[in-house]
């Protein structure tokens, strides 16, 4: 089972190519995708999202949050921010959902690399570092 970040879902629905999109296609066929509630919220926030896509995403099995989730997510974000790294709230919520359940995250968003070392987020595909120059 894998969880999939908004960046990969969007690329998938826009018809982009890439290793992450190929893995998502395979995982969907094999019914191996779990939905992170924060990702579902991000995706459903698009006013132009087609109804059939909304239904498909909403029908995926969801990762449930357990007791102390919100505190752990806040502490995770604080650890990443303390290291001077970028840690958006949504990303911290997604990362903590995956960490709590031991589920790997499929993403093309480089920002999630900050959560790998901070608390052991396991990425299916590690986004390549940006070229700096």
CA distance 11 to 18: 9
In the numeric block, the tokens 């589920």 are attached to: 103
Whether residue 130 has pLDDT greater than 60: no
| Fold (CATH) for 2-119 | Rossmann fold (3.40.50)
Mean pLDDT calculated for residue range 51-59: 95
Instruction: Provide the 8-state DSSP code for 60.
Output: S
Model confidence at 133, in pLDDT bands (50, 70, 90)?
Answer: very low
pTM for this model (two decimals): 0.89
Write the DSSP string, 79-130. HHHHTT----HHHHHHHHHHHHHT-EEE---GGGHHHHHHH---BSSPPPPP
Q: pLDDT tens across 61-118, in order? A: 999 999 999 999 999 999 999 999 999 999 999 999 999 999 999 999 999 999 997 6
Mean pLDDT calculated for residue range 12-28: 95
In the numeric block, the tokens 């911290």 are attached to: 92
pLDDT at 119: 72
Residue spans of the domains in the chain: they are: 2-119
State percent of the chain over pLDDT 70: 93
């Amino acid at each position: 089972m894998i969880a999939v970040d908004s960046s990969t879902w969007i690329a998938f629905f826009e018809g982009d190519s890439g290793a992450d999109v190929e893995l998502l296609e395979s995982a969907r066929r094999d019914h191996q995708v779990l939905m992170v509630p924060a990702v579902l919220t991000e995706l459903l926030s698009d006013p132009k999202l087609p109804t059939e896509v909304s239904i498909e995403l909403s029908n995926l099995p969801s990762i449930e949050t357990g007791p102390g989730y919100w505190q752990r997510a806040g502490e995770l974000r604080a650890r990443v921010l303390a290291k001077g790294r970028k840690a958006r709230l949504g990303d911290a919520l997604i990362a903590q959902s995956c960490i709590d359940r031991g589920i790997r995250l499929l993403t093309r968003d480089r920002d999630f690399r900050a959560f790998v070392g901070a608390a052991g987020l396991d990425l299916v595909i590690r986004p390549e570092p940006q070229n700096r120059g």
